[in-house]
């Protein structure tokens, strides 16, 4: 099973990310998959996290993607998401 490659992500991003620079949102969204796969360098991860701190639509999308991917991974292997990241996201969500 491979995920569909040509998903119309751009359309969804434009609808969900408002109030923040749309270019930043597109960048952040495009990096989410790499982020979740631990493919980003530390500076790149910091950029994504910083955007998530100020952009709730992207944060919601991120947590959705993460939940989805984690639940998928739990079916095949033990999840190894960084606890610090999960704590951070939880605290961010509580602020809203």
SS3 call for 17: coil
Q: How far apart are CA 89 and CA 39, in angstroms?
A: 19
Closest to Zn ion by CB, 21 or 72? 21
State yes or no: residue 25 binds Zn ion (CB under 5 A): yes
In sequence order, the 6+-apart residues with CB closer than 8 A to the CB of 41 are none
Report in angstroms how near the CB of residue 1 gets to Zn ion at its nearest.
29
Report in angstroms how near the CB of residue 5 gets to Zn ion at its nearest.
23
Q: Give, for 53, the enclosing helix (H) or strand (E).
A: helix 42-54
Report in angstroms how near the CB of residue 78 gets to Zn ion at its nearest.
31
Residues that bind Zn ion (CB under 5 A): 17, 20, 25, 55, 58
């Amino acid at each position: 099973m491979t995920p569909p490659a040509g998903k119309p992500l751009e359309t969804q991003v434009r609808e969900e990310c408002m109030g923040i620079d749309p270019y930043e949102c597109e960048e952040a969204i495009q990096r989410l998959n790499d982020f979740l796969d631990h493919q980003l360098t530390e500076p790149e991860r910091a950029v994504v996290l910083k955007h998530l701190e100020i952009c709730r639509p992207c944060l919601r999308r991120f947590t959705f993607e993460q939940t989805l991917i984690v639940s998928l991974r739990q079916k095949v292997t033990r999840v190894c998401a960084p606890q610090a990241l999960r704590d951070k996201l939880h605290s961010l969500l509580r602020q809203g």
